[in-house]
Structure 1
Protein backbone atom coordinates (compact mmCIF):
# COMPACT_ATOMS: atom_id res chain seq x y z
CA UNK A 1 0.00 0.00 0.00
CA UNK A 2 1.32 3.44 -0.92
CA UNK A 3 1.36 5.95 1.90
CA UNK A 4 0.70 9.68 1.56
CA UNK A 5 3.82 11.75 2.22
CA UNK A 6 3.74 15.54 2.39
CA UNK A 7 7.18 17.09 1.88
CA UNK A 8 7.65 20.75 2.74
CA UNK A 9 11.07 21.98 1.80
CA UNK A 10 13.46 23.84 -0.41
CA UNK A 11 14.06 23.89 -4.12
CA UNK A 12 17.54 24.97 -5.23
CA UNK A 13 19.14 25.09 -8.62
CA UNK A 14 22.39 23.10 -8.24
CA UNK A 15 25.73 23.79 -9.92
CA UNK A 16 28.03 20.81 -9.32
CA UNK A 17 31.77 20.53 -10.02
CA UNK A 18 33.61 17.21 -9.63
CA UNK A 19 37.25 17.64 -8.60
CA UNK A 20 40.20 15.35 -7.83
CA UNK A 21 40.30 17.00 -4.38
CA UNK A 22 38.87 20.04 -2.64
CA UNK A 23 40.72 23.28 -3.48
CA UNK A 24 42.85 25.08 -0.94
CA UNK A 25 41.93 28.68 0.01
CA UNK A 26 42.74 30.92 -2.97
CA UNK A 27 43.44 27.97 -5.26
CA UNK A 28 41.80 27.33 -8.66
CA UNK A 29 41.39 23.73 -9.79
CA UNK A 30 40.26 22.36 -13.13
CA UNK A 31 37.12 20.25 -12.65
CA UNK A 32 36.83 16.76 -14.10
CA UNK A 33 33.28 17.61 -15.08
CA UNK A 34 30.40 19.87 -14.10
CA UNK A 35 26.62 19.80 -14.32
CA UNK A 36 23.58 21.92 -13.50
CA UNK A 37 20.15 20.76 -12.48
CA UNK A 38 17.31 20.72 -9.96
CA UNK A 39 18.08 20.19 -6.29
CA UNK A 40 17.32 21.44 -2.81
CA UNK A 41 16.72 19.20 0.17
CA UNK A 42 12.95 19.41 -0.05
CA UNK A 43 12.70 18.65 -3.76
CA UNK A 44 15.35 15.92 -3.53
CA UNK A 45 13.63 14.18 -0.62
CA UNK A 46 10.23 14.46 -2.28
CA UNK A 47 11.65 12.89 -5.45
CA UNK A 48 13.21 10.07 -3.44
CA UNK A 49 9.95 9.40 -1.58
CA UNK A 50 8.00 9.25 -4.85
CA UNK A 51 10.47 6.91 -6.53
CA UNK A 52 10.53 4.74 -3.41
CA UNK A 53 6.80 4.16 -3.78
CA UNK A 54 4.98 6.92 -1.87
CA UNK A 55 2.19 9.22 -3.01
CA UNK A 56 3.86 12.60 -2.58
CA UNK A 57 2.59 16.15 -2.21
CA UNK A 58 5.58 18.48 -2.53
CA UNK A 59 5.33 22.05 -1.21
CA UNK A 60 8.05 24.57 -2.05
CA UNK A 61 8.76 28.14 -3.17
CA UNK A 62 10.86 29.61 -5.97
CA UNK A 63 11.61 33.02 -7.44
CA UNK A 64 10.03 34.71 -10.44
CA UNK A 65 13.09 34.06 -12.60
CA UNK A 66 14.45 31.61 -15.17
CA UNK A 67 15.57 29.16 -12.47
CA UNK A 68 12.02 29.26 -11.09
CA UNK A 69 10.57 28.42 -14.49
CA UNK A 70 13.06 25.56 -14.80
CA UNK A 71 12.04 24.37 -11.34
CA UNK A 72 8.37 24.15 -12.27
CA UNK A 73 9.09 22.21 -15.46
CA UNK A 74 11.33 19.80 -13.58
CA UNK A 75 8.98 19.29 -10.63
CA UNK A 76 5.96 18.73 -12.88
CA UNK A 77 7.85 15.76 -14.36
CA UNK A 78 9.03 14.33 -11.02
CA UNK A 79 6.09 11.99 -10.48
CA UNK A 80 4.42 13.75 -7.54
CA UNK A 81 0.71 13.26 -6.95
CA UNK A 82 0.34 16.94 -6.08
CA UNK A 83 2.68 19.93 -6.51
CA UNK A 84 2.26 23.22 -4.63
CA UNK A 85 4.89 25.69 -5.79
CA UNK A 86 4.65 29.24 -4.46
CA UNK A 87 6.45 32.09 -6.27
CA UNK A 88 8.23 35.06 -4.67
CA UNK A 89 8.00 38.39 -6.47
CA UNK A 90 11.21 39.68 -4.91
CA UNK A 91 13.55 36.87 -3.83
CA UNK A 92 15.42 34.73 -6.40
CA UNK A 93 15.16 30.98 -6.70
CA UNK A 94 17.51 29.28 -4.25
CA UNK A 95 20.78 27.95 -5.61
CA UNK A 96 23.62 25.77 -4.41
CA UNK A 97 27.28 25.58 -5.41
CA UNK A 98 28.59 22.05 -4.85
CA UNK A 99 32.08 20.53 -4.92
CA UNK A 100 32.39 16.75 -5.14
CA UNK A 101 35.87 15.30 -4.52
CA UNK A 102 37.90 12.31 -3.34
CA UNK A 103 37.55 8.56 -3.68
CA UNK A 104 34.43 8.52 -1.50
CA UNK A 105 32.84 11.36 -3.52
CA UNK A 106 32.42 13.57 -0.45
CA UNK A 107 30.88 17.00 -0.98
CA UNK A 108 31.06 20.62 0.18
CA UNK A 109 28.03 22.83 -0.45
CA UNK A 110 27.33 26.58 -0.27
CA UNK A 111 23.64 27.50 -0.44
CA UNK A 112 21.90 30.80 -1.20
CA UNK A 113 18.35 30.01 0.02
CA UNK A 114 16.62 32.89 -1.77
CA UNK A 115 12.87 32.37 -2.02
CA UNK A 116 13.03 29.35 0.29
CA UNK A 117 13.24 31.74 3.26
CA UNK A 118 10.12 33.72 2.31
CA UNK A 119 7.25 31.25 2.89
CA UNK A 120 4.45 33.28 4.47
CA UNK A 121 1.84 32.32 7.04
CA UNK A 122 -0.83 32.78 4.38
CA UNK A 123 0.95 30.29 2.12
CA UNK A 124 1.26 27.80 4.95
CA UNK A 125 -2.47 28.15 5.64
CA UNK A 126 -3.19 27.17 2.04
CA UNK A 127 -1.47 23.82 2.74
CA UNK A 128 -3.53 22.85 5.79
CA UNK A 129 -5.79 20.35 3.92
CA UNK A 130 -2.71 18.59 2.51
CA UNK A 131 -1.18 18.26 5.97
CA UNK A 132 -4.43 16.91 7.39
CA UNK A 133 -4.65 14.26 4.64
CA UNK A 134 -1.04 13.07 4.86
CA UNK A 135 0.20 9.98 6.69
CA UNK A 136 3.59 11.63 7.17
CA UNK A 137 5.19 15.07 7.02
CA UNK A 138 8.85 15.29 6.03
CA UNK A 139 10.60 18.64 6.39
CA UNK A 140 14.09 20.12 6.78
CA UNK A 141 15.65 23.43 7.89
CA UNK A 142 16.31 25.06 4.50
CA UNK A 143 13.21 27.26 4.80
CA UNK A 144 12.31 30.04 7.24
CA UNK A 145 11.85 28.58 10.70
CA UNK A 146 8.46 30.19 11.30
CA UNK A 147 6.93 28.35 8.34
CA UNK A 148 8.56 25.07 9.40
CA UNK A 149 7.20 25.43 12.93
CA UNK A 150 3.69 26.15 11.66
CA UNK A 151 3.77 23.11 9.35
CA UNK A 152 4.90 20.88 12.23
CA UNK A 153 2.29 22.32 14.61
CA UNK A 154 -0.52 21.62 12.14
CA UNK A 155 0.74 18.11 11.43
CA UNK A 156 0.92 17.35 15.15
CA UNK A 157 -2.67 18.50 15.67
CA UNK A 158 -3.74 16.09 12.92
CA UNK A 159 -1.74 13.15 14.37
CA UNK A 160 0.48 13.06 11.28
CA UNK A 161 3.85 11.31 11.74
CA UNK A 162 6.61 13.95 11.52
CA UNK A 163 10.21 13.57 10.36
CA UNK A 164 12.54 16.55 10.80
CA UNK A 165 15.83 16.39 8.94
CA UNK A 166 17.73 19.23 10.68
CA UNK A 167 19.74 20.26 7.63
CA UNK A 168 21.29 22.65 7.03
CA UNK A 169 21.77 23.26 10.72
CA UNK A 170 20.11 26.18 12.41
CA UNK A 171 19.16 26.42 16.10
CA UNK A 172 15.68 25.10 16.84
CA UNK A 173 13.70 25.34 20.10
CA UNK A 174 13.46 22.21 22.23
CA UNK A 175 9.69 22.52 21.99
CA UNK A 176 9.99 21.76 18.29
CA UNK A 177 12.18 18.70 18.91
CA UNK A 178 9.50 17.34 21.23
CA UNK A 179 6.82 17.71 18.55
CA UNK A 180 8.55 15.58 15.90
CA UNK A 181 8.42 11.79 15.86
CA UNK A 182 11.81 11.27 14.24
CA UNK A 183 14.92 13.47 14.06
CA UNK A 184 17.47 12.58 11.35
CA UNK A 185 20.71 14.60 11.59
CA UNK A 186 23.95 13.55 9.97
CA UNK A 187 27.11 13.41 12.07
CA UNK A 188 27.97 17.07 11.47
CA UNK A 189 24.47 18.29 12.32
CA UNK A 190 24.29 16.08 15.41
CA UNK A 191 27.54 17.66 16.54
CA UNK A 192 26.23 21.16 15.95
CA UNK A 193 23.06 20.37 17.91
CA UNK A 194 24.85 18.82 20.88
CA UNK A 195 28.41 20.14 20.98
CA UNK A 196 29.69 16.54 20.70
CA UNK A 197 32.09 15.60 17.89
CA UNK A 198 30.28 12.68 16.29
CA UNK A 199 32.61 10.36 14.37
CA UNK A 200 31.87 6.81 15.58
CA UNK A 201 29.31 4.65 17.40
CA UNK A 202 30.14 5.77 20.91
CA UNK A 203 29.99 9.49 20.14
CA UNK A 204 26.79 8.98 18.13
CA UNK A 205 25.24 7.24 21.15
CA UNK A 206 26.24 10.14 23.40
CA UNK A 207 24.76 12.68 20.98
CA UNK A 208 21.53 10.70 20.63
CA UNK A 209 21.17 10.46 24.41
CA UNK A 210 21.49 14.24 24.70
CA UNK A 211 18.94 14.79 21.92
CA UNK A 212 16.52 12.48 23.72
CA UNK A 213 16.96 14.51 26.91
CA UNK A 214 16.13 17.62 24.91
CA UNK A 215 12.85 16.12 23.77
CA UNK A 216 13.54 14.08 20.63
CA UNK A 217 11.53 10.83 20.64
CA UNK A 218 13.40 8.83 18.00
CA UNK A 219 16.74 9.71 16.42
CA UNK A 220 18.71 8.46 13.42
CA UNK A 221 22.25 9.84 13.11
CA UNK A 222 23.86 9.06 9.75
CA UNK A 223 27.64 8.68 9.57
CA UNK A 224 28.26 8.16 5.85
CA UNK A 225 30.10 4.98 4.96
CA UNK A 226 30.19 3.92 8.64
CA UNK A 227 26.41 3.46 8.69
CA UNK A 228 23.89 5.07 11.01
CA UNK A 229 22.68 4.91 14.59
CA UNK A 230 18.98 4.33 15.23
CA UNK A 231 18.00 5.32 18.75
CA UNK A 232 14.36 4.81 19.75
CA UNK A 233 12.39 4.16 22.90
CA UNK A 234 12.80 0.40 22.46
CA UNK A 235 16.59 0.63 22.31
CA UNK A 236 19.47 1.35 19.96
CA UNK A 237 20.53 -0.35 16.74
CA UNK A 238 23.20 0.13 14.09
CA UNK A 239 22.11 0.49 10.46
CA UNK A 240 24.83 -0.81 8.13
CA UNK A 241 26.06 0.93 4.99
CA UNK A 242 25.42 -1.19 1.90
CA UNK A 243 28.32 -1.76 -0.54
CA UNK A 244 28.49 0.86 -3.29
CA UNK A 245 30.90 2.38 -5.78
CA UNK A 246 30.40 6.06 -4.96
CA UNK A 247 30.40 8.63 -7.74
CA UNK A 248 28.62 11.53 -5.99
CA UNK A 249 27.43 11.61 -2.37
CA UNK A 250 25.56 14.92 -2.76
CA UNK A 251 22.09 13.36 -2.60
CA UNK A 252 22.81 10.54 -0.15
CA UNK A 253 21.20 12.12 2.90
CA UNK A 254 18.18 13.25 0.92
CA UNK A 255 17.85 9.79 -0.61
CA UNK A 256 17.94 8.22 2.85
CA UNK A 257 15.30 10.58 4.27
CA UNK A 258 12.94 10.35 1.31
CA UNK A 259 13.09 6.57 1.15
CA UNK A 260 12.69 6.33 4.93
CA UNK A 261 9.55 8.47 4.76
CA UNK A 262 8.08 6.41 1.94
CA UNK A 263 8.48 3.10 3.75
CA UNK A 264 7.22 4.45 7.09
CA UNK A 265 4.15 5.86 5.33
CA UNK A 266 3.61 2.44 3.76
CA UNK A 267 3.37 0.89 7.23
CA UNK A 268 6.85 -0.55 7.78
CA UNK A 269 8.51 -0.40 11.19
CA UNK A 270 11.22 2.17 11.79
CA UNK A 271 13.92 -0.49 11.65
CA UNK A 272 12.59 -2.01 8.41
CA UNK A 273 12.29 1.41 6.83
CA UNK A 274 15.81 2.39 7.95
CA UNK A 275 17.37 -0.69 6.36
CA UNK A 276 15.53 0.01 3.11
CA UNK A 277 16.70 3.64 3.24
CA UNK A 278 20.33 2.55 3.67
CA UNK A 279 20.09 0.39 0.55
CA UNK A 280 18.37 3.20 -1.33
CA UNK A 281 21.13 5.67 -0.45
CA UNK A 282 23.79 3.17 -1.58
CA UNK A 283 22.26 3.00 -5.06
CA UNK A 284 21.92 6.79 -5.15
CA UNK A 285 25.61 7.58 -4.55
CA UNK A 286 26.63 5.55 -7.59
CA UNK A 287 25.12 8.24 -9.85
CA UNK A 288 25.89 11.90 -10.50
CA UNK A 289 23.57 14.64 -9.37
CA UNK A 290 21.01 14.80 -6.58
CA UNK A 291 17.39 14.62 -7.73
CA UNK A 292 18.44 12.92 -10.98
CA UNK A 293 20.23 10.15 -9.08
CA UNK A 294 17.27 8.91 -7.02
CA UNK A 295 16.72 5.19 -7.74
CA UNK A 296 13.47 3.31 -8.16
CA UNK A 297 11.78 0.99 -5.71
CA UNK A 298 12.77 -1.99 -7.88
CA UNK A 299 16.45 -1.01 -7.93
CA UNK A 300 16.51 -0.76 -4.16
CA UNK A 301 14.81 -4.13 -3.68
CA UNK A 302 17.45 -5.60 -5.99
CA UNK A 303 20.23 -4.14 -3.80
CA UNK A 304 18.57 -5.57 -0.68
CA UNK A 305 18.29 -8.98 -2.33
CA UNK A 306 21.91 -8.77 -3.47
CA UNK A 307 23.05 -8.53 0.16
CA UNK A 308 20.58 -10.60 2.22
CA UNK A 309 23.07 -11.03 5.08
CA UNK A 310 23.17 -7.29 5.78
CA UNK A 311 20.83 -6.64 8.70
CA UNK A 312 20.39 -4.10 11.42
CA UNK A 313 22.57 -4.83 14.47
CA UNK A 314 20.89 -4.45 17.86
CA UNK A 315 23.17 -2.64 20.32
CA UNK A 316 23.53 -3.49 23.98
CA UNK A 317 21.73 -1.08 26.32
CA UNK A 318 23.92 1.81 27.42
CA UNK A 319 24.40 2.70 31.05
Structure 2
Protein backbone atom coordinates (compact mmCIF):
# COMPACT_ATOMS: atom_id res chain seq x y z
CA UNK A 1 0.00 0.00 0.00
CA UNK A 2 1.30 3.44 -0.92
CA UNK A 3 0.53 5.40 2.25
CA UNK A 4 0.80 3.70 5.63
CA UNK A 5 0.23 5.22 9.06
CA UNK A 6 1.84 3.42 12.00
CA UNK A 7 0.39 3.98 15.47
CA UNK A 8 2.66 2.48 18.07
CA UNK A 9 5.73 2.28 20.24
CA UNK A 10 9.26 3.62 20.10
CA UNK A 11 11.93 2.03 22.31
CA UNK A 12 15.68 2.17 22.57
CA UNK A 13 16.88 -1.44 22.55
CA UNK A 14 19.62 -2.62 24.90
CA UNK A 15 20.62 -5.80 23.05
CA UNK A 16 22.89 -8.24 24.92
CA UNK A 17 24.44 -11.14 22.99
CA UNK A 18 25.30 -14.43 24.73
CA UNK A 19 25.80 -18.16 24.13
CA UNK A 20 22.57 -18.90 25.97
CA UNK A 21 20.16 -17.06 28.23
CA UNK A 22 20.63 -17.61 31.99
CA UNK A 23 18.30 -19.76 34.04
CA UNK A 24 16.77 -18.42 37.25
CA UNK A 25 19.53 -17.63 39.74
CA UNK A 26 22.30 -18.11 37.18
CA UNK A 27 24.91 -15.65 35.89
CA UNK A 28 26.31 -16.04 32.37
CA UNK A 29 29.02 -14.11 30.54
CA UNK A 30 27.81 -12.03 27.60
CA UNK A 31 29.70 -11.50 24.36
CA UNK A 32 28.74 -7.85 23.99
CA UNK A 33 25.96 -5.26 23.93
CA UNK A 34 24.54 -2.86 21.36
CA UNK A 35 22.25 0.15 21.72
CA UNK A 36 19.93 0.22 18.69
CA UNK A 37 16.61 1.96 17.93
CA UNK A 38 13.62 -0.35 18.26
CA UNK A 39 10.05 -0.68 19.47
CA UNK A 40 7.51 -2.60 17.42
CA UNK A 41 5.87 0.51 16.01
CA UNK A 42 9.12 2.25 15.18
CA UNK A 43 10.59 -0.91 13.67
CA UNK A 44 7.61 -1.26 11.35
CA UNK A 45 7.62 2.41 10.40
CA UNK A 46 11.37 2.31 9.75
CA UNK A 47 11.08 -0.81 7.61
CA UNK A 48 8.15 0.62 5.66
CA UNK A 49 10.10 3.79 4.98
CA UNK A 50 13.25 1.94 3.98
CA UNK A 51 11.25 -0.32 1.67
CA UNK A 52 9.74 2.64 -0.15
CA UNK A 53 6.29 3.14 1.39
CA UNK A 54 5.02 6.67 2.11
CA UNK A 55 5.05 6.31 5.90
CA UNK A 56 4.02 8.42 8.86
CA UNK A 57 3.90 7.56 12.55
CA UNK A 58 1.95 8.49 15.67
CA UNK A 59 3.59 7.79 19.03
CA UNK A 60 5.61 9.36 21.82
CA UNK A 61 9.21 9.67 23.00
CA UNK A 62 10.78 11.41 25.96
CA UNK A 63 12.60 14.72 25.82
CA UNK A 64 15.92 12.91 26.11
CA UNK A 65 18.83 11.87 23.93
CA UNK A 66 17.25 8.51 23.10
CA UNK A 67 14.11 10.27 21.88
CA UNK A 68 16.12 12.48 19.57
CA UNK A 69 17.96 9.45 18.22
CA UNK A 70 14.70 7.62 17.58
CA UNK A 71 13.26 10.52 15.60
CA UNK A 72 16.44 11.06 13.60
CA UNK A 73 16.62 7.38 12.67
CA UNK A 74 13.06 7.38 11.32
CA UNK A 75 13.59 10.63 9.44
CA UNK A 76 16.69 9.09 7.82
CA UNK A 77 14.36 6.76 5.87
CA UNK A 78 11.83 9.52 5.14
CA UNK A 79 9.24 8.61 7.79
CA UNK A 80 7.04 11.59 8.69
CA UNK A 81 7.58 12.00 12.46
CA UNK A 82 5.38 15.06 12.99
CA UNK A 83 2.80 12.85 14.73
CA UNK A 84 5.32 11.68 17.34
CA UNK A 85 5.01 13.74 20.51
CA UNK A 86 7.98 14.50 22.75
CA UNK A 87 6.80 14.26 26.37
CA UNK A 88 8.55 16.59 28.82
CA UNK A 89 9.98 14.97 31.93
CA UNK A 90 9.39 11.42 30.69
CA UNK A 91 11.99 8.93 29.46
CA UNK A 92 11.84 7.29 26.06
CA UNK A 93 10.72 3.64 26.20
CA UNK A 94 13.38 0.99 26.59
CA UNK A 95 13.64 -2.71 25.75
CA UNK A 96 16.16 -5.10 27.27
CA UNK A 97 16.87 -8.00 24.92
CA UNK A 98 18.84 -11.17 25.65
CA UNK A 99 19.90 -12.84 22.40
CA UNK A 100 21.34 -16.36 22.16
CA UNK A 101 23.76 -17.61 19.50
CA UNK A 102 20.78 -19.44 17.97
CA UNK A 103 19.13 -16.06 17.33
CA UNK A 104 16.32 -16.68 19.83
CA UNK A 105 15.63 -13.93 22.33
CA UNK A 106 13.77 -12.76 25.42
CA UNK A 107 12.57 -9.16 25.72
CA UNK A 108 11.54 -7.02 28.70
CA UNK A 109 10.04 -3.59 28.00
CA UNK A 110 9.78 -0.40 30.06
CA UNK A 111 6.99 1.64 28.45
CA UNK A 112 8.27 5.11 29.31
CA UNK A 113 6.75 7.69 26.97
CA UNK A 114 4.77 4.98 25.15
CA UNK A 115 2.36 4.96 28.09
CA UNK A 116 1.54 8.59 27.23
CA UNK A 117 0.02 7.66 23.87
CA UNK A 118 -3.54 8.22 25.04
CA UNK A 119 -6.79 8.44 23.10
CA UNK A 120 -6.54 12.22 22.94
CA UNK A 121 -3.15 12.08 21.26
CA UNK A 122 -4.50 9.61 18.70
CA UNK A 123 -7.74 11.44 17.96
CA UNK A 124 -5.90 14.73 17.53
CA UNK A 125 -4.21 13.18 14.48
CA UNK A 126 -7.44 12.47 12.55
CA UNK A 127 -6.08 14.19 9.46
CA UNK A 128 -3.28 11.63 9.23
CA UNK A 129 -5.80 8.78 9.28
CA UNK A 130 -7.76 10.39 6.46
CA UNK A 131 -4.66 10.57 4.24
CA UNK A 132 -3.47 6.99 4.79
CA UNK A 133 -4.37 3.86 2.83
CA UNK A 134 -3.77 1.60 5.83
CA UNK A 135 -3.23 1.96 9.58
CA UNK A 136 -0.86 -0.45 11.35
CA UNK A 137 -0.94 -0.90 15.15
CA UNK A 138 0.64 -3.06 17.85
CA UNK A 139 0.05 -3.53 21.60
CA UNK A 140 3.00 -1.70 23.17
CA UNK A 141 0.83 1.38 23.71
CA UNK A 142 -2.34 1.48 25.88
CA UNK A 143 -5.10 -0.74 24.47
CA UNK A 144 -7.78 2.01 24.65
CA UNK A 145 -5.58 4.05 22.31
CA UNK A 146 -5.28 1.10 19.92
CA UNK A 147 -9.07 0.77 19.91
CA UNK A 148 -9.47 4.49 19.26
CA UNK A 149 -7.02 4.28 16.36
CA UNK A 150 -8.79 1.26 14.87
CA UNK A 151 -12.20 2.91 15.08
CA UNK A 152 -10.90 6.15 13.57
CA UNK A 153 -9.29 4.22 10.73
CA UNK A 154 -12.56 2.39 10.05
CA UNK A 155 -14.45 5.68 10.12
CA UNK A 156 -12.25 6.76 7.22
CA UNK A 157 -12.61 3.38 5.45
CA UNK A 158 -8.95 2.47 5.83
CA UNK A 159 -7.40 -1.00 6.04
CA UNK A 160 -6.82 -1.80 9.73
CA UNK A 161 -3.81 -3.98 10.53
CA UNK A 162 -3.07 -5.25 14.04
CA UNK A 163 0.20 -6.86 15.10
CA UNK A 164 -1.12 -8.35 18.37
CA UNK A 165 2.12 -8.20 20.34
CA UNK A 166 2.81 -8.32 23.18
CA UNK A 167 -0.09 -10.78 23.07
CA UNK A 168 -2.75 -10.69 25.77
CA UNK A 169 -5.89 -12.71 26.38
CA UNK A 170 -8.15 -9.83 27.38
CA UNK A 171 -8.41 -7.89 24.11
CA UNK A 172 -12.03 -6.74 23.74
CA UNK A 173 -14.21 -7.87 20.87
CA UNK A 174 -14.76 -4.22 19.89
CA UNK A 175 -11.11 -4.15 18.77
CA UNK A 176 -11.19 -7.43 16.86
CA UNK A 177 -14.32 -6.29 15.03
CA UNK A 178 -12.35 -3.44 13.41
CA UNK A 179 -9.41 -5.53 12.19
CA UNK A 180 -8.89 -6.39 8.52
CA UNK A 181 -5.55 -8.17 8.97
CA UNK A 182 -3.88 -9.48 12.11
CA UNK A 183 -0.45 -11.13 12.21
CA UNK A 184 0.24 -13.27 15.29
CA UNK A 185 2.83 -16.00 15.50
CA UNK A 186 1.62 -19.36 16.82
CA UNK A 187 2.62 -18.56 20.42
CA UNK A 188 0.80 -15.24 20.34
CA UNK A 189 -2.23 -16.87 18.72
CA UNK A 190 -2.47 -19.33 21.62
CA UNK A 191 -2.32 -16.49 24.16
CA UNK A 192 -4.88 -14.42 22.27
CA UNK A 193 -7.42 -17.22 21.90
CA UNK A 194 -6.75 -19.57 24.81
CA UNK A 195 -6.57 -22.41 22.30
CA UNK A 196 -3.69 -24.80 21.56
CA UNK A 197 -1.55 -24.14 18.48
CA UNK A 198 0.76 -27.16 18.51
CA UNK A 199 -0.31 -28.45 15.09
CA UNK A 200 -1.29 -26.77 11.85
CA UNK A 201 -4.88 -27.94 12.33
CA UNK A 202 -4.96 -26.34 15.79
CA UNK A 203 -3.51 -23.11 14.37
CA UNK A 204 -6.31 -22.95 11.81
CA UNK A 205 -8.95 -23.58 14.49
CA UNK A 206 -7.52 -20.84 16.69
CA UNK A 207 -7.33 -18.43 13.76
CA UNK A 208 -10.96 -19.13 12.90
CA UNK A 209 -11.93 -18.14 16.44
CA UNK A 210 -10.61 -14.65 15.61
CA UNK A 211 -12.50 -14.68 12.30
CA UNK A 212 -15.64 -15.36 14.36
CA UNK A 213 -14.95 -12.14 16.29
CA UNK A 214 -14.93 -10.11 13.08
CA UNK A 215 -11.32 -10.24 11.89
CA UNK A 216 -11.21 -10.47 8.10
CA UNK A 217 -7.81 -12.14 7.63
CA UNK A 218 -5.44 -13.89 10.04
CA UNK A 219 -1.81 -14.25 8.93
CA UNK A 220 -0.05 -16.66 11.29
CA UNK A 221 3.74 -16.62 11.04
CA UNK A 222 5.26 -20.03 11.79
CA UNK A 223 8.96 -19.20 11.71
CA UNK A 224 10.83 -21.62 9.49
CA UNK A 225 7.55 -23.40 8.65
CA UNK A 226 6.18 -20.43 6.71
CA UNK A 227 2.96 -18.44 7.01
CA UNK A 228 -0.70 -19.48 7.15
CA UNK A 229 -3.46 -17.26 5.78
CA UNK A 230 -6.90 -17.97 7.24
CA UNK A 231 -10.08 -16.15 6.27
CA UNK A 232 -13.72 -16.95 5.53
CA UNK A 233 -12.95 -18.40 2.11
CA UNK A 234 -9.52 -20.01 2.33
CA UNK A 235 -6.71 -21.58 4.28
CA UNK A 236 -3.48 -21.06 2.39
CA UNK A 237 0.12 -21.80 3.37
CA UNK A 238 3.12 -19.89 2.09
CA UNK A 239 6.70 -21.19 2.43
CA UNK A 240 9.53 -19.62 4.41
CA UNK A 241 13.12 -19.18 3.25
CA UNK A 242 15.79 -21.20 5.04
CA UNK A 243 18.66 -19.15 6.49
CA UNK A 244 20.97 -19.32 9.51
CA UNK A 245 19.50 -16.87 12.03
CA UNK A 246 21.73 -14.79 14.30
CA UNK A 247 19.11 -12.41 15.74
CA UNK A 248 15.32 -12.71 15.39
CA UNK A 249 14.53 -9.50 17.31
CA UNK A 250 12.68 -7.63 14.54
CA UNK A 251 11.80 -10.52 12.25
CA UNK A 252 8.05 -10.15 12.70
CA UNK A 253 8.18 -6.37 12.38
CA UNK A 254 10.21 -6.64 9.18
CA UNK A 255 7.83 -9.26 7.76
CA UNK A 256 4.73 -7.16 8.41
CA UNK A 257 6.26 -3.96 7.05
CA UNK A 258 7.53 -5.65 3.91
CA UNK A 259 4.15 -7.34 3.45
CA UNK A 260 2.32 -4.01 3.77
CA UNK A 261 4.72 -2.28 1.39
CA UNK A 262 3.59 -4.69 -1.34
CA UNK A 263 -0.02 -5.53 -0.38
CA UNK A 264 -2.58 -4.19 -2.86
CA UNK A 265 -5.62 -5.13 -0.79
CA UNK A 266 -6.19 -8.43 -2.58
CA UNK A 267 -3.03 -10.32 -3.58
CA UNK A 268 -1.68 -11.97 -0.44
CA UNK A 269 0.77 -14.33 -2.16
CA UNK A 270 3.05 -11.67 -3.64
CA UNK A 271 3.04 -9.57 -0.47
CA UNK A 272 3.67 -12.53 1.86
CA UNK A 273 6.55 -13.71 -0.30
CA UNK A 274 8.15 -10.25 -0.19
CA UNK A 275 7.69 -10.22 3.58
CA UNK A 276 9.22 -13.69 3.93
CA UNK A 277 12.27 -12.67 1.91
CA UNK A 278 12.76 -9.45 3.88
CA UNK A 279 12.49 -11.16 7.26
CA UNK A 280 14.82 -13.97 6.14
CA UNK A 281 17.47 -11.36 5.42
CA UNK A 282 16.78 -9.50 8.67
CA UNK A 283 17.39 -12.50 10.94
CA UNK A 284 20.90 -12.92 9.52
CA UNK A 285 21.85 -9.51 10.96
CA UNK A 286 22.11 -8.14 14.47
CA UNK A 287 19.76 -5.50 15.83
CA UNK A 288 16.22 -4.36 15.15
CA UNK A 289 16.16 -1.45 12.70
CA UNK A 290 19.79 -2.12 11.78
CA UNK A 291 18.74 -5.49 10.35
CA UNK A 292 16.16 -4.16 7.86
CA UNK A 293 17.17 -4.79 4.22
CA UNK A 294 16.79 -2.49 1.23
CA UNK A 295 14.32 -3.08 -1.59
CA UNK A 296 17.19 -4.11 -3.84
CA UNK A 297 18.42 -6.70 -1.35
CA UNK A 298 14.95 -8.23 -1.03
CA UNK A 299 14.39 -8.34 -4.78
CA UNK A 300 17.73 -10.11 -5.33
CA UNK A 301 17.14 -12.65 -2.54
CA UNK A 302 16.07 -16.19 -3.41
- The answer on whether the counterparts of 2:71 and 2:81 sit within 8 Å (CA) in structure 1 is no
Q: State the TM-score, normalized to the length of structure 1.
A: 0.90
The number of residues matched between the two structures is: 301
Paired residue secondary structure (2:177): helix
* 1:76 Cα deviation after fit: 2.3
- The answer on whether the counterparts of 1:229 and 1:237 sit within 8 Å (CA) in structure 2 is yes
Structure 2 residue aligned with 1:279, among 270, 277, 280? 277
Q: Could you report, residue by residue, the CA deviation over 1:2-25 in whole angstroms, capped at 9, with x for unpaired residues?
A: 600111110001000111111111
Distance 2:198 2:87 in 1: 40
- The answer on whether the counterparts of 2:161 and 2:180 sit within 8 Å (CA) in structure 1 is yes
Paired residue secondary structure (2:171): coil
* 1:124 Cα deviation after fit: 1.5
Q: State the TM-score, normalized to the length of structure 2.
A: 0.95
Show structure 2 runs of 5+ residues with no match: none
Show structure 1 runs of 5+ residues with no match: 307-319
Distance 1:282 1:145 in 2: 30
Partner of 1:244: 243
- The answer on whether the counterparts of 1:63 and 1:87 sit within 8 Å (CA) in structure 2 is yes
Distance 2:177 2:64 in 1: 38
- The answer on whether the counterparts of 2:74 and 2:81 sit within 8 Å (CA) in structure 1 is no
Distance 1:214 1:60 in 2: 27
Q: Which runs of 4+ in 1 moved over 4 A?
A: none
Partner of 2:67: 68
Partner of 1:213: 212
Distance 1:83 1:199 in 2: 43
Matching of residue 51 in structure 1 with residue 25 in structure 2: no
Distance 2:18 2:86 in 1: 34
Paired residue secondary structure (1:292): helix
Counterparts of 1:98-109 in structure 2, within 5 Å, are 98-103=97-102, 105-109=103-107
* 1:33 Cα deviation after fit: 2.3
Paired residue secondary structure (1:243): coil
Distance 1:13 1:282 in 2: 23
Partner of 1:27: 26
Check 1:200–1:227 CA distance in 2 against 1; reply closer, same or farther (3 A cut). farther
